[in-house]
Every structure is written in C-alpha cells, then in structure tokens.
Structure 1
C-alpha cells in the first residue's frame, strides 16, 4: 500500500510539473506575441507625413535614429524628449545641456557645413526658421528629411515640442514636458495676476538700439509677467528703436541679456538715460541669455525670471 501511495504521489507531481511547463511556455509565447504586436503598433506610425510650421510637407520613412539640430533651442527640445543619444550633430552655439558640447559641430548661425551634415548620415534635420533655400535643397537632394520651426510664444513652443515628439516617436515624453511647462506657466500667472503693471523696455542690441517688439516671445513674457512693453508698437519683433522715444516713454524697468560688451553701469551712463525711472531707481537688469533668448523647454523659466525681476516681492 505504501508503494502504491508513493507511485500516486510521483505521478501527481509529474502531472503538476508538466502542466506548469506547458502553461509557462504558453505565457512565454503570449509575452513574445505581445512584444511583437507592440513593436508592430509602434512601427505602424511610419512612414509619417507631416507639415511643419512653414507648410513644408515632409515624409518621415522611419523612426529617426540619427538627428542633426541646427539651433540651440531645438537641441534643448530634443534632449528634453530623451533623444540625446540620437543627436549626431549640433551648432557651435548648442551648449545646453552640457552633453551637447560633445556632439559633432556642423556650423553656426552664419552658416552650416552641408558636407559635414551629409557625412553624419542623419535621417532627420531640425532647423530654426525657414533656413537657406540652397542649403535646404542640398539636404533634401541627399535624401535627408528636414523640418523647420520658429516658435515665438509659449504656446508655439509647446506645439513645436509636441510636433517634434510625434516625428521622433516621443509623444508621451512630449506630453509630459509640455504639461510641466503649462503647470509652471500657470503658477507664475497666478502670482502676478493682481499686480500693477510696470513699464518695461527690453534691449536686443545697443548699437543701433534695438527692441523686443510685438510678436517676439520677449514681448509675450513681459506682458504675461505683469509688465507693459513700451516698444509694443515697434515696427516688428526685433527692430531699431529711437533713443529719444525710449527716454520720453520712461520705462520703470530696463532689461537686456548679459553680454561681454555691456554692463549695468555702461547702460546707465549712456547719454540721457539718467532721466529714466529705470536708471534713477536702479532697475536696470542683465538676464541670463541662454534662458531668455531660447524658445525651448526653458521658456517658462524665462517667464519666471522676468516676473521675478519685475515683481521681486512676489517671489520671496
């Protein structure tokens, strides 16, 4: 009887092990099937046909694996989406994040090295603005898709990030980045919503004097931060501004980006500037240029920086 019972136990254990193995194999097969199915779904987004900000219709055959960025702000967008390892070329001005400095350089704002770009064998080039027609054509002739974006507001930056996320297969990451940006924007707006507006001038350049006018993202940042841009009726977003008109309009706050060629004292000492409230009340400020001059993910940091500068008491 004891031997029979032992045999039954052995048979039962054998059956259990056999069933476990079968079920395990089935589950393993299901997992592999699911992985394969997921891969097919992800790849089904390509080829992708998009229209960039300048109405160029571009076909992206497959998920980009080698990307060239022709602007610091676009480089920051690509890094924010987790695409740093796929960036193979940047401009000499692309210095954020720190890793961007290690990438191959393909030129600067004055021109790009087309041969270098083609040599890097990118499957996507992202440029700021319309770009140079001759350069664009040569890149296209090499079979390289090129997309163009020039956001001039926080909402346009958000749209650009989402669009680049779509092109690169990083839509979820883009959504996370842009939701965080929207949240930061609302936080700043809530702090300044009841403030008394102050008159502001933002200097783009000093010789000749140029201002951030209507349509520029700095104009928007000033307005959102509880300021009134005294150059709101300038001829364009970045245009010359008459110094006599500046002094007559008498800004309460004078802003400019940090630059080796200027200091707060050098601005204050310009002829006639001592008549302005901004100079009388020591409200001339130089701001960190990489934050306030790049329409990328850090544009909401620029918004907070401008708001803090105009209304420091609200951010203590």
Structure 2
C-alpha cells in the first residue's frame, strides 16, 4: 500500500495519463482535490473531551489505548497506521499485540513507539498533557453513552486519520443496521412489555439506561430493573440478589467470561422464582462486544434482538 507521502504523486501520474486521452485541463489540480477528498485536507482541527485538537498531517504511527477506538480505526481503514494498542485491544486479529496499559498509561512506554497520534480514554488527562508537552498529538475519547456519540467518534477518527469519507460510510452503515434490527424486531413483536437485568459480574453490578449498553436495550423498548435501584452509582449500581428476585425480570443478560456462568446464576438461592430463569431466558453476551461502543454494536443489537424474540414467545 503506498504511503501518504507517495500517494499525491501516484494520483498525479494517473491524471497525466488521463489527459493524454482527452481529459479536461488542470488535471494536477483535480488530482489534488481528489486526494483531499480521499485522505482529508490537513491540518485538521477536531473537538475531543479536552477541547480543540489540531493534527498537522495524516498520522502514520497511531497508538490506541482503548479497545473501542482500536476497532473503529481498523473499521474505517486506518488499521495500517496503527503502530500499537493497549493490552485489551484484541479485535480485529490483525491488531498489533502489546502490553501497554490504557488504564495507567505510561508516557515513556508510549513514546517508544514514536507515535504521531495517541488516543487515550478521557480519564488519562495527565498522560495526555505530558505527551502534548513533547509535541505528540493526543485525542481524549470518553466512553460513549449513546449510539449517536459512538457514530460521532467514528467520524472524528476519520477526520483525524485521513479517512473521513470511509468513516462516514462506516458510521452510516452501522447506524442503518442497528436501526433496521430494532425496527424489524419491534415491528414483528409489537409492545412486549419485557423487563431485563444486565449483570456485569458475579458481584451483581448492573447498568442503568444512562449507559451506552443501557441505551441499546432502551431502543428495543425493554424495561431496565436497574433504573429503579436506590443508588444508581453513576450508571453502574450494585444490586442485591433479593432486589433482582423481587423485580422478577423477563430476561437476564450476562456479560462476563465463564463457561458455567448461566448455570451458576440458575443455582443462586431464590433465583428459580424469576421468570427469566424459569423460561430459560438467560443470555450470555460476548463480554467484549457488550462492553464496547465500536462497529460491533451491530452484533450486540442482533444478540439482543434474538433474546427479545425468544422471551416474547414465552409470554
């Protein structure tokens, strides 16, 4: 694949070849305009969680320290520009493997990769400030709490990496696919009046509708039992077993690893009184897909759709 520096020359040669066949005048200008459309005109200024960030030229060595961003970068065509990722960025398979931490980023370890763009989580502001002091552009990307925010982040990464057109296409496709899945499911089932409980771990931590995945469930018209908890804990309350049993959800979603987690939930004291347990509507979600706000949200929507359809048949 040609580098960003060689690409304009290649386009210019193509334009000259066309001119010999009777193409319009000013083909060099046309080639430059096409390059600007394909790669994005630089410098570009985007708005991240810290304010305005200007990126002078298309980055060629990106360090991504958040798995959702890593997935977005590869989806929008910037994968070959990714030099390093955090230890939890395991998708796609061709993503580079490192032991960099996204939770406690080491500026020294990051700079060893000679990055010309680093993407960090919002709570890594200190590391971002240190990197900017040594002239490394940094984007602070908060966890998306809505689908629209996720689509917006895809587009911002496209502008920042020279793949604005591709990012628009990906964001549009993801949005269209999610909308289609929701519309087809709700049209087929109508008003099901189903409630659900989403469990993050065996400690009974859950999510409210204010979180990203809570917003996905909300699109399907599901009632979230965690929304009635006394302490929302910033969207991630810890519920009691008694509370879950009392709320009697129609669906239980589990989003953590373990081959036996479904069986273990069934064996909990009094859980056999819950409709979801009696009807077999306990769904184990892929832990990565259900915790990220990248392009695979379409897969999450499909999983929720299948679970909702099955639970509706049990009513």
Alignment TM class, shorter chain as reference:
0.7 to 0.9
For structure 1, the residue ranges without an aligned partner over 5 or more in a row are 1-22
**Structure 1 residue 135 displacement after superposition:** 1.5
Give the Cα separation in 2 of the matches to 1:216 and 1:262: 27
| Corresponding residue for residue 251 of structure 1 | 249
Deviation at 1:144, TM superposition (A): 0.8
Decide which of 109, 115, 126 is 1:116's aligned counterpart.
109
My pick for the range that moved more, 231-240 or 66-75, is 231-240
- With normalisation by structure 1, the TM-score equals 0.83
Aligned with residue 81 of structure 2, among 81, 86, 93: 86
Aligned partners of 2:128 and 2:254: how far apart in 1?
Answer: 33
1:219-234 equivalences in 2 (<5 Å): 219-234=214-229
The separation in 2 between residues aligned to 1:170 and 1:200, in whole angstroms, is 39
1:180 equivalent in alignment to 2:163: no
CA change 1:65–1:263 in 2 (3 A) is same
Gap change, CA 1:233 and 1:314, over 3 Å in 2: closer
Q: Which residue of 2 aligns with 1:60?
A: 55
Give the Cα–Cα distance (whole angstroms) in 2 for the partners of residues 297 and 44 of structure 1: 21
Native 8 Å contact 1:92 1:108 kept in 2: yes
User: 1:57/1:291 Cα in 2 relative to 1: closer, same or farther (>3 Å)?
Assistant: same
Kindly report structure 1 stretches of 4+ aligned residues shifted beyond 6 Å.
40-44
Is 2:211 the counterpart of 1:211? no
Partner of 2:298: 300
Cα separation, partners in 2 of 1:202 and 1:28, compared to 1, 3 Å: same
1:1-316 equivalences in 2 (<5 Å): 24=20, 30-36=26-32, 38-39=34-35, 45-52=41-48, 54-100=49-95, 103-128=96-121, 130-149=122-141, 150-193=143-186, 194-207=190-203, 209-234=204-229, 235=232, 236-260=234-258, 262-312=260-310
Inter-CA distance 281–85: structure 2 relative to 1 (3 Å threshold): same
Deviation at 1:283, TM superposition (A): 1.4
SS of the equivalent of 2:210 reads coil
Tell me by how many angstroms 1:113 deviates. Answer: 3.0
Q: Distance in 2 between matches of 1:190 and 1:199?
A: 19
Number of equivalent positions? 288
Residues 41, 312 of structure 1: alpha-carbon distance in 2 compared, 3 angstrom cutoff: closer
Superposition deviation, residue 26 in structure 1: 8.4
**Cα RMSD, aligned residues only:** 2.5
Larger Rg: 1
Deviation readout 1:55-112 (Å, 9 max, x if unpaired): 4221211121211101111000000011111000101111111101xx1525234422
Greater fraction strand: 1
Q: CA deviation at 1:47?
A: 2.0
**How much has 1:256 moved relative to structure 2?**
0.7
User: CA contact under 8 A between 1:77 and 1:297: conserved in structure 2?
Assistant: yes
> What TM-score, normalized to structure 2?
0.83
